[in-house]
Every structure is written in structure tokens, then in C-alpha cells.
Chains A and B, each alone.
Chain A
Amino acid sequence: MANTVNMSQYNEQAERRKQERRKQGKMRLSTATVTRDNRETIGNVTVPDYRIRCTDINVFYGDKHAIRNITLDIGRHEIIAMIGPSGCGKSTFLRCLNRMNDTIENCRVTGKIMMDNQDINDKSIDVVPLRAKVGMVFQKPNPFPKSVYENIAFGPRIHGLAKDKVELDEIVVTSLKRAGLWEEVKDRLDQPGTSLSGGQQQRLCIARTIAVNPEVILMDEPCSALDPIATTKIEELMDQLCADYSIVIVTHSMQQAARVSHRTAYFHLGDLIEVGATEQIFTKPVHQLTEDYITGRFG
């Protein structure tokens, strides 16, 4: 525990040093030091036609308060981007939405996450159907060390989505086509998924996720390990997918957030600082922290 205290002290010191540097330099700094008090979320956190409604989410790792009182709606057919410096809690928040935080020791999530009139944060909720509804794509491509076909077929098979081999084949083909991977792998469905290139692997993981036909897709920095061409492909893919799915994407690339998302949420040290239409966030940010971040002044 002493460790976390030291860390936060260290962070505060680092923050102070930064502020001082800015004052000495010629940089413009219009507001005073940002404290806990003025970290209320700015912008409209709710949308009328929501798919998931999160209310007062708090996450603790042991004694560490990782995210504080976050209230946010995920709309239907929208892509919402989460941006913010490392360690600000955006991935943690994302993992609340399909209860992936359950797999972490000492992790405690409080608050309400309503989806289809159910609190999916309730311990009595079965995570298996939830994760079938809320799919996830991870930062590092993590195909199973099995064939391309088996990678896609696993989800539909365990959920019993296909009656027979023909249907399963069809699901595999459509999923690969929708992920834009079909043309590249149609001749080597029996080869290990791990033999594909990084970008192909990530699209394979997306295909694996949409094979289960979820309603929401969570993407945790899906392009951070990819080159610009593979990134473009995946962004185009997200654009098409949002016709059917709600997509929540965590990204470190502000350009990516600006390109693909409809709404953007800015996180800072466990707080949700500002939410708004992507255009507004990137052109007229209200909060000082948001402005500093998107103009590249820190982070």
C-alpha cells in the first residue's frame, strides 16, 4: 500500500513540476491548478436512446481507487471513443462493461450498469450470456493457437449458434467477410491463426468477436500494435460495423478517435472529465484538462 501512496505522491510532484515549467515558459495556461473539486464531468453524459447506462461506477484495485463515480451512456449504433493519458482508467471502465474485471484479483466494481433492464454489474448475473452480448477485442491480437476456422467457430459452437456444419461454415465465412479478412485467408482456413500477420490477426479477433453476433463490441486499443494500413482497414471495418453494433473503443491515438467516433469521452486519473460529440470535443473542448490533452500539451 505504501507503494501506491508513493506513486500518487510522485504523480502529484510530477504534476506540480509540469505546471511550474509551463508558468516559466511561454505557454498559455489560463486556469489555475486543477483540483479534485473541479473534476465534475462536463458535457451531456446521457443519450436518449441508450444501449448501456452506467451510473456511479467506482472501481477499486485493492485499496487503490482506480475510477471514480463515472456516469455514462453508450448509445445504439454509435462509436464512442475513450481517450486519456495512460493509467486514467479508460480500459478499466471498458472491462466493466463485460465484467472482464472479474478475472482480476482484488478488483471491486460498484455502481449500476443497466443493459436491457438488468444491472449487469450485479453478482448474480451470469457472465456467459453477457459476454455473448458484449464482445471484446483486445489490445494485443490474441488468436487461439488453432486454425483460422477454429478461431471463428469456437464462439458459435459453445453458444450453439449453428445447427450443423453447413451453418457453422456459413457463420465462419460471413464473419471473415465482414471483418474484411476473407479474401486473404480463404485458402488457408486450416492454418494456425497465429501464422497470420499482426493486422490480419487483429481482424481475425474481430471476426471471432462478431461471429457470436454480439450487440456491443468493446475494443481496447485495437490498433496500437498495427501499422497505418492495417489500422485504416480496421477503422473502415468499425465504420461498417456500427450500423449493427454499439462500439466502445479505447484509443491512445487522438486522430483515430477523431476519425471514427461519434462521441468522445475524456478520462483523467480515474475521472471522466468531459463527454461530448467528437467534433465538439476536438474543436471546442470546455475543460482545461481536455484542451491540454488534445492539443498535446501533456499526456
Chain B
Amino acid sequence: MNELVPPKPKTIDLVNASLAKRRASERLFRGIGLISIMMALMFLFMLFYSIVSKGYTAFRQTHIQLEVNFDQQLLDPAATRHHDVLSSADYSSLVKASLSKLFPDVTSRNEKRQLHGLVSAGAAYQLRDMVMADPALLGQTLQLWVPADDDVDMLIKGHIDRDGPETERRLRDVQIAWLDQLAAQEKLSLKFNMLFFANGDSREPELAGIWGALMGSIYTLLVTLLLSFPMGVATAVYLEEFAPKSKWVDLIEVNINNLAAVPSIIFGLLGLAVFINFMSFPRSAPLVGGLVLAFMTLPTIIIASRGALKSVPPSIREAALGVGASKMQTVYFHVLPLATPGMLTGTIIGMARALGETAPLLMIGMVAFIVDIPSDIFDPATALPVQIYLWADSPERAFVERTSAAIIVLLGFLFVMNALAIILRKKFERRW
């Protein structure tokens, strides 16, 4: 009868016994988390290091100082100062004359061609632009810094091995000797590469710039934003606040979620078929690019906006309805302001994805070689990621650093967009 029942263990003993195990699993979890973060940071650092270390040299460009005589006889013999005459004059002769003045002993035709090859074709454009802007320059002699050829640039930056066999490099021994002379006279120098930020694309690496692609991206994103943000928000508000629950709404919802997962190149094909072939919109234009990217971004914005609307507490809606606000007033004055930060986040995520998108733009012809800077959404243009793709594909050594520099610009653009998003969020965020 009087069986000996083992005493029930105290709770605190049980707790103490399990503590070590609990702490161990906590440590393990923290360790795994820490390792993940370290790995992510390491990859990020490697990415940045490889891009920046390759790209930073592109922001400086070798320039050669020339004494240029704006010869009236050569440029405008009749002294008309007429626009067409000045524009079509032979400015490269000026450059050649200046070079010959620097190296008077170079006479043979072959050597002369090699000498002229030291200076970029862009030098002549630079002189023309100067004269067009100020015709009074005619007859004057100026000391000017003009861009050097990309091979010279590569040599100065150390990307060409000057001690290797002559047949395996793009610069002859004699050219290197001239450059050494120029350097000794301090007529050779690395200067900030303005052209990279001011020019469109070019076959000549030293003249190739990012501005055209940047403007193309800005116009494209502008179209995307103007289309997808209002449409996305309106769709989300309708589905979340107004639509009665029905099979149709469920169907729409499923389809929107599916659209978010459609590969972007499909949207490009759609744009090609609908906007270019059927509606005859201009090829390669930011308008079409923006439309296509808007399609691609819409699902992201709609899903994020619906999430933001869902997270607004229903008590706010009840409060507004309770004082007799109509549904529209409730949404406009109370729900939307509270959902704005979340909607903006979704929009920025969508826009950032659109900024980095290449595949659909290839389908609608924004991959073309375009030198001119687009001035509106109907001009042919390319976009930053496409420009990066094009340059990465180019054989010249100088395009390697430009590719990385373009990536830096793209990342900078992205950074500015995200900063803007954070500022806007902070501005619209309210305390509950």
C-alpha cells in the first residue's frame, strides 16, 4: 500500500538541466547567422573591389598638350564666319600641324601616320566645338590639352607591356619614344575624364561616354514610373478596398502573382509584338522600353501596395467611416497616407529591378549602337545595363575599364534611388 513514490523533481532543477542545451542551440544559431552575414559581406566586398579596382582608372584620361594655331587660311579662307563653313572645316589638319610642330624631324609618310595616331580623333571635334562656340578664336594660337588615343592611354595606365616584343603591342617603339619625349616636356598628363560623362557611345574607347546611356535609362525609368506607379497603386487600392470578394478577384490576384514570376524577356517579346510591330511605335525608343518595363514592374508594385494597404489597421477605416466619410474619402485621407511608405518601398524595388533589366530591352532594339544623346522619349537610346553589356563585348582593352566604370555609375544611380526611397519613407512615415 505504502509504495514509495519517487519525489517529483522540482521545476527549477529541470530548467537548470536543460539550460546548457538551450544555450548551445542559441550559440549555434547566432554563429550560423554571423557566418551568413560575413559571407554576404565578403562577396559584396569582392564585387565592389573588382569593379572599383578595374573601373576607377576610367575616370581619368591621358591628355596631350598641343600648341594649336587656329589657322584662318585653312579653316575659313573667305572669312565668311558662316556656320556651315566652320562646321565642315578640316580641323584634323590643325591637330596634325601641331603635332608636326612638336616633332619636326618626323617626315616619312608612315611615321607621320603613327605620330598622328597618338592623338584621339576626338581632338578635332574638340577644336571644332571651340571654334563654333567662339569664332573669334580664328587666327589665335592656344596651348590646349586634347585627349590621347586609347592605346596611349592604356600604355600610360600600365595596361600595355612596354617592354614586350614590338609585334605584340599596339604601339610601335617609335611611338613610345615620342610619348616619353612628351612626358619629359610635361606635355602628357592624366586629367579628369570629362568626355566619359558628357559623350554618348563611340567606337573609339577614349571618346565613349556614359551620358547617352544614362539619359536613356532616365527617360525609360521616367516612363516606367509614370505608368506603373499610378496604375499599380490604383489596382492595389481597388482590389484591396473596393472590389467585392468574388471568384473574378481571386483569378485576377492569382494572375498578378504569376505575372511577377514571368521571365523579363517574355515582356520584351510582348513589347516587340504589340508596341513595335502592331502599334508601330519607334524602335529603340525609351517610350517602348518604359512601357515594357512598366509591365514588368506592375506586379511588384501591386503586390507591395496591397501588402501596405493590408497592414493599415482596420480601426482607422472604421473611425473614418464612423464619422460618415465615404469609402473614397476614407481611403484617400486615412488609408493611403499610412500605406504610402510601404507602397514607395515596393515601387523603388520595382524601379531598381527595371533599372538593371537588360533582356527585354534587347528585344525592342535598345541594344543598337547609338552615338547621339537622346533628348526625349522618342529618340533612339540605349540604357545603362545594355551599355555595360555592349562595352563588355568590345575587343579594345580600354573598354574593360569603361565597362567597370559604367557599372560604378549604374550602382551610383541605384544608390541615389534607394537613398531617395529612404528619405521619402521617413517623410511619410507616421507614428501610430
CA distance A212 to B322 in the complex (A): 11
Task: Determine whether the beta carbon of B324 is less than 8 Å from that of A155.
Answer: yes
Q: Is B109 interfacial (CB 8 A cutoff)?
A: no
- The contact string, 1 if C-beta is below 8 Å from chain B, for chain A 108-143, is 000000000000000000011111100111101011
Given A155-B323, A194-B431, A208-B323, check contact A138 B318 (CB 8 Å): yes
Task: Determine whether the beta carbon of A154 is less than 8 Å from that of B245.
Answer: no
Q: Is B381 interfacial (CB 8 A cutoff)?
A: no
CA distance A154 to B334 in the complex (A): 10
List, in ascending order, chain B residues with CB within 8 A of A131's CB.
321-324
Task: Determine whether the beta carbon of B318 is less than 8 Å from that of A103.
Answer: yes
- Contact for B322 among A98, A146, A195, CB less than 8 A: A98
- Contact for A194 among B317, B321, B432, CB less than 8 A: B432
CA distance A135 to B321 in the complex (A): 10
Q: Is A158 interfacial (CB 8 A cutoff)?
A: yes
Question: How many residues of B are counted as interface, with CB atoms below 8 angstroms from the partner's CB atoms?
Answer: 21
- The contact string, 1 if C-beta is below 8 Å from chain B, for chain A 15-50, is 000000000000000000000000000000000000
Q: Is A61 interfacial (CB 8 A cutoff)?
A: no
Given A144-B334, A145-B338, A145-B430, check contact A138 B319 (CB 8 Å): yes
Task: Determine whether the beta carbon of A105 is less than 8 Å from that of B245.
Answer: yes
Would you give the shortest CB distance from B329 to chain A, in whole angstroms? 5
- Contact for B315 among A127, A142, A211, A212, CB less than 8 A: A142
Q: Is B144 interfacial (CB 8 A cutoff)?
A: no
Task: Determine whether the beta carbon of B333 is less than 8 Å from that of A138.
Answer: no
Task: Determine whether the beta carbon of B324 is less than 8 Å from that of A132.
Answer: yes
Task: Determine whether the beta carbon of B320 is less than 8 Å from that of A154.
Answer: yes
- The contact string, 1 if C-beta is below 8 Å from chain A, for chain B 297-328, is 00000000000000001011111111111100
Would you give the shortest CB distance from B332 to chain A, in whole angstroms? 10
Residue among A137, A144, A192 having the largest count of chain B Cβ atoms under 10 Å: A144
Q: Which residue of A lies closest to B317 (CB)?
A: A103
Task: Determine whether the beta carbon of A135 is less than 8 Å from that of B322.
Answer: yes
List, in ascending order, chain A residues with CB within 8 A of B317's CB.
103
List, in ascending order, chain A residues with CB within 8 A of B318's CB.
100, 103, 136, 138, 142
Task: Determine whether the beta carbon of B432 is less than 8 Å from that of A205.
Answer: no
List, in ascending order, chain A residues with CB within 8 A of B333's CB.
154, 158
Q: Is A284 interfacial (CB 8 A cutoff)?
A: no
List, in ascending order, chain B residues with CB within 8 A of A100's CB.
318, 321-322
CA distance A298 to B313 in the complex (A): 34
Q: Is A159 interfacial (CB 8 A cutoff)?
A: yes
**A-B contact count, CB below 8 Å?**
74
- The contact string, 1 if C-beta is below 8 Å from chain A, for chain B 413-432, is 00000000000000000111
Task: Determine whether the beta carbon of B431 is less than 8 Å from that of A142.
Answer: no
Q: Which residue of A lies closest to B314 (CB)?
A: A103
Q: Is A290 interfacial (CB 8 A cutoff)?
A: no
Would you give the shortest CB distance from A257 to chain B, in whole angstroms? 22
Question: How many residues of A are counted as interface, with CB atoms below 8 angstroms from the partner's CB atoms?
Answer: 32
CA distance A195 to B315 in the complex (A): 17
Within 8 A of A (CB), among B315-354: 315-326, 329, 333-334, 338
Given A105-B245, A142-B315, A158-B329, check contact A135 B323 (CB 8 Å): yes
Within 8 A of B (CB), among A162-177: none
Would you give the shortest CB distance from A205 to chain B, in whole angstroms? 7
- Contact for A154 among B323, B326, B430, CB less than 8 A: B323
Q: Is A209 interfacial (CB 8 A cutoff)?
A: yes
- Contact for A143 among B319, B324, B325, B338, CB less than 8 A: B319
Q: Which residue of B lies closest to A159 (CB)?
A: B324
Would you give the shortest CB distance from B430 to chain A, in whole angstroms? 5
List, in ascending order, chain A residues with CB within 8 A of B322's CB.
98, 100, 131, 135-138, 209
Task: Determine whether the beta carbon of B325 is less than 8 Å from that of A154.
Answer: yes
Would you give the shortest CB distance from A241 to chain B, in whole angstroms? 16
List, in ascending order, chain B residues with CB within 8 A of A138's CB.
315, 318-319, 322
List, in ascending order, chain A residues with CB within 8 A of B324's CB.
128-132, 135, 155, 158-159, 212
List, in ascending order, chain A residues with CB within 8 A of B320's CB.
144, 154
List, in ascending order, chain A residues with CB within 8 A of B430's CB.
145-146, 192
Task: Determine whether the beta carbon of A140 is less than 8 Å from that of B334.
Answer: no
CA distance A137 to B326 in the complex (A): 18
CA distance A211 to B321 in the complex (A): 14
CA distance A195 to B245 in the complex (A): 36
Residue among B321, B324, B326, B334 having the largest count of chain A Cβ atoms under 10 Å: B324
Q: Which residue of A lies closest to B245 (CB)?
A: A105
Task: Determine whether the beta carbon of B321 is less than 8 Å from that of A103.
Answer: yes
List, in ascending order, chain A residues with CB within 8 A of B316's CB.
142, 144-145
Task: Determine whether the beta carbon of A144 is less than 8 Å from that of B431.
Answer: no
Would you give the shortest CB distance from A139 to chain B, in whole angstroms? 9
Within 8 A of A (CB), among B65-99: none
- The contact string, 1 if C-beta is below 8 Å from chain B, for chain A 88-105, is 000000000010100101
Given A158-B329, A192-B431, check contact A140 B323 (CB 8 Å): no
- Contact for B319 among A127, A128, A142, CB less than 8 A: A142
Within 8 A of A (CB), among B374-432: 430-432
Task: Determine whether the beta carbon of B326 is less than 8 Å from that of A128.
Answer: yes
CA distance A28 to B431 in the complex (A): 54
List, in ascending order, chain A residues with CB within 8 A of B334's CB.
144
Would you give the shortest CB distance from B241 to chain A, in whole angstroms? 11
Would you give the shortest CB distance from B325 to chain A, in whole angstroms? 5
CA distance A248 to B340 in the complex (A): 36
Given A145-B430, A145-B431, A194-B432, check contact A140 B315 (CB 8 Å): yes
CA distance A264 to B430 in the complex (A): 41
CA distance A159 to B329 in the complex (A): 11
Task: Determine whether the beta carbon of A212 is less than 8 Å from that of B319.
Answer: no
User: What are 5 pairs between A and B in contact, CB < 8 Å?
Assistant: A142-B318, A144-B319, A155-B325, A158-B323, A208-B323
Beyond A129-B324, A137-B322, A155-B323: 20 further Cβ-contacts under 8 Å?
Answer: A98-B322, A103-B321, A128-B324, A132-B323, A138-B315, A138-B319, A140-B315, A142-B315, A142-B316, A143-B319, A144-B319, A144-B334, A145-B430, A146-B430, A158-B323, A158-B325, A159-B324, A192-B431, A194-B431, A209-B323
- Top 8 A-B pairs, shortest CB-CB distance: A132-B324, A155-B323, A131-B324, A142-B315, A136-B322, A142-B319, A145-B430, A128-B326
